[in-house]
Amino acid sequence: MKVCLFCTCMGTLSAALPENALRSALPGVRLVTAKRLCHTDSCHETLNALSESLPPHARVVVAACSHGARGAQATGCIKKTFTNLSVELADIREGCAWPSAGADEKDRTAQAASLIRMAFAHLEQRDEVPPLPDPERRVLVVGGGPAGMAAASTLAGLGVPVTLAERRPATGGMLNQLGRLFPLMNEAQEVDAELPLNGVDVLTGTTVSAIRREKGAWVAGLARGEEKLEERFGAVVLAVGAQPVLPGKKFGSGTLKGVISQMELDTLLSAVERGAKSAGLLPTRAVFIQCVNARSDEAPYCSSICCPTAVKNALRLKELAPEASVTVLHRQMVMPGVRLEEMYRRAMKNGVRFLHVDDLGAVHVEGEDVVQSVRIASADGSTERIEADCVACSTPLRPQPAAARLAEGMGLRTDGMGFFLGHEPAHPLESDGEGVFICGSARWPSFVHQAVEQGRAAAVLAARFLNERRMPMDEIPEHGPAAFIRKELCSGCGRCVQACPHGACSLGDDRRCAVDAELCRRCGSCAAVCPCRAAVLPSAPSAREIMAALGTKPALQRRPS
């Protein structure tokens, strides 16, 4: 049954297009007028009056203003109320009544009627593209560091079933290694307490060997010692974290006593803060070297957390041993924002010396067995020597080796270094995988408080992803939302296999192409490159459809060779 809802736009549209003229121009269509379909109350009034005489699955064309004006509201209101109707918008205001205001009324009505017929032709040729399959309502969080714990804790709080897999025997990740944290200078254990894992299925000592896509879900291979199992999840939050790069042999590290990494200094300071005897433990003349193994050609990125960590440790050292001298050799102090800049100023005020060095090649750590001084050669030939009993090298974080393996199996992109790539900048936590979210240092080196924020944000995104209404997998029609190949026309040239950016096209044993409906994103690349016109995108109008909409008979089609 063809029903056309004609919105008179409070009488303004029916003044240009008289209802009766339109009705006689549309034989076989039941024309129903409404005053103002974009207004919820008015729309409901019309629909309620109509609903009794409306058969299920009726085809409804809304003849109103354009999508960008109020048309979207009108169709949206109808779709929300009657989910089983096929609704199409015919723009007869901006598309007809306005531009043809000066034309003869008869021509204008004919034009509007043909727009409405076109809309019906659309509906007849094509059903609504069904929504994507309903995912498993469970989330897997990979990694039990601050980001992963925040994600799991938030998801559990939101009532979403969640499993947390951590490869170590306990959760906490970096929190277990760190002492006091920027910016509140609170203890890492306090953060732990803020992220309760009640209601989370916590699997410690469990490695995630691989995750693959199968039938609308992510199937994760979990290994716990000898025990191996596979489980299905609707969404995945990747919070595998990162690991610190070691200074290697740079600046006498490993050979000279007193040359340590910033991480080791952090541990030392934590020990003293917790009451260890400080005599002889704490350095009295410390030199920090920033950007060791970072921002170089081999590692062309700024790890972003090392400068604040160095300043934090300088402040802690100054607090524990006010007489100690601290010099920070930096290429650039990366302390963006309000809190970091304030901390930087506080450090300068407390007597921490910041020395700008353009090239770390000019810095030499001197001493026999034990570090004695740091020599800096300036470009103008002068040298400066700083007495030191401790040299702390700030090194960046680098991605976990496991990240690359997971990314490859899941078809996610990583940057040159191996950090997961999100859709910067508006959707930074959303990866290429459907329902796969990234957070924490696996995405980019983050402070603990940033990792927690990202974990919480990723949890919201995952919950939203699972809450979206979708159609169960088995209800999707054979030629459902995905592209499909008309096998009788396919020559097996494989162009679609190359063109498909989602890896959905593949050549079968019969040397004919097939499309994996789950991987297909309906981009139409296969249909565009197919020389045989065998690849078809159901949502795109075919030549036949366009001709029918225009009311013309299809011309003789050239047979595809």
Partner 1 sequence: MLSSQHLSPEQLSPRTVLVAGGGVAGMQVALSLAALDVPVLLVERNAHLGGQVMRLDKVYPTDHCAFCPTWSMARACFEAPGVQVLLHAEVVGLSTDGDRTLAEIRVRQLEIDPAACLFCGACAAVCGKNALRKRDPDMTWDPALPPAMRIDSSLCDGCGACERACPVQAVHLRPEPLTVTLPVADVICATGFTEPTKGDATWTEEFGSHTHPDIFTAMEFEAWHGESRGEKVLRTRSEGRPVRRVAFVQCAGARDARHLSYCAAVCCMHAMKQARWLKRRQPELDITIFYTDLRAPGAGQEAYMRAGGNEGIRLVRSRPGLIKPSPLGGIGVRFDDPETGAGRGERFDIVVVNGGLAQCRLPQAAGAAEGALRTATRCGFCDEPADVAGAVIQGAATAARHVLNQRRSEGGAA
User: What are the CA-CA distances from residue 440 to residues 148, 160, 443 (Å)?
Assistant: 8, 20, 6
- Output the six-digit token pair for 483: 């592209």
Of 3-11, 117-125, 163-171, 273-281, the segment contacting partner 1 by CB under 8 A is: 3-11
346 touches partner 1 by CB under 8 A: no
Distance CA 17, CA 11 (A): 10
User: Is 335 a residue that touches partner 1 (CB under 8 A)?
Assistant: yes
- The answer to the question of residue 167 lying near partner 1 (CB under 8 A) is no
Q: Name the residue nearer to partner 1 (CB basis): 21 or 335.
A: 335
User: Are 352 and 328 contacting, i.e. CB atoms less than 8 angstroms apart?
Assistant: yes
Residues 82, 47: contact at Cβ < 8 Å? Answer: yes
Q: Does 192 bind partner 1 (CB under 8 A)?
A: no
Cα 439 to Cα 423: distance, rounded to the nearest angstrom: 12
Q: Are 316 and 274 in contact (CB under 8 A)?
A: no
Q: Can you state the angle between helices 306-320 and 338-349, rounded to 10 degrees?
A: 40
Q: Provide the mask over 454-483, with x wherever binding to partner 1 is found by CB under 8 A and - wherever it is not.
A: x-xxxxxx-xx--x----------------
235 near partner 1 (CB under 8 A): no
Stretch that binds partner 1, among 6-14, 222-230, 512-520, 536-544 (CB under 8 A): 6-14
The continuous run of DSSP H or E covering 122 comes out as: helix 105-125
Q: Is beta strand 370-377 parallel, antiparallel or unpaired with respect to 139-142?
A: unpaired
Figure out which of the listed residues 72, 271, 355, 362 binds partner 1, where binding follows CB under 8 A: 72
Q: Distance between CA 222 and CA 206 in Å, rounded?
A: 6
When asked if residue 154 is in the footprint of partner 1 (CB under 8 A), the reply is yes
Binding segment (CB under 8 A) for partner 1, from list 24-32, 70-78, 219-227, 236-244: 70-78
Any idea which residue has 């499309």 for tokens? 515
Instruction: Give me the residue label for tokens 């991987």.
Output: 519
Q: Does residue 17 bind partner 1 (CB under 8 A)? A: no
Closest CA to 538 of 497, 485, 498, 474: 485
Least CB distance to partner 1 at residue 415 (A): 6
Q: Does 157 bind partner 1 (CB under 8 A)?
A: yes
Asked if residue 528 binds partner 1 (CB under 8 A), the reply is no
Give phi and psi for 129, each to the nearest 5: -65, 120
Nearer to partner 1, 82 or 301 (CB): 301
Residue 398 within binding range of partner 1, rule CB under 8 A: no
CB atoms within 10 A of CB 80: 10
- Distance between CA atoms of residues 160 and 153, nearest Å: 10
Please report whether residue 360 would count as binding partner 1 according to CB under 8 A. Answer: no
381 binds partner 1, rule: CB under 8 A: no
Q: How far apart are CA 18 and CA 405, in angstroms?
A: 66
Q: Does 114 bind partner 1 (CB under 8 A)?
A: no
Interface with partner 1 (CB under 8 A), residue from 98, 248, 257, 281: 98
Stretch that binds partner 1, among 10-18, 272-280, 362-370, 481-489 (CB under 8 A): 10-18
The least distance separating partner 1 from the CB of residue 93, rounded to whole angstroms, comes to 8
Contact 340, 308 (CB under 8 A): yes
For partner 1, the closer CB: 31 or 333: 333
Q: 507-529: string of b/e by CB count within 10 Å (b at 16+)?
A: eeeeebbbbebbbbbbeebbbeb
CB-nearer residue toward partner 1: 162 or 334: 334
Does 334 help bind partner 1 (rule: CB under 8 A)?
yes
Binding of partner 1 by 76 (CB under 8 A): yes
Residue 75 vs 253, nearer CB to partner 1: 75
Find all residues with CB under 8 Å of 1, minimum gap 6, and list them. 30, 54, 55, 58, 59
Binding site for partner 1 (CB under 8 A): 9-13, 36, 38, 65-70, 72, 76, 93-94, 98, 154, 157-158, 295, 300-304, 332-342, 345, 356, 379, 415-416, 419, 421-422, 424-429, 443-444, 452-454, 456-461, 463-464, 467
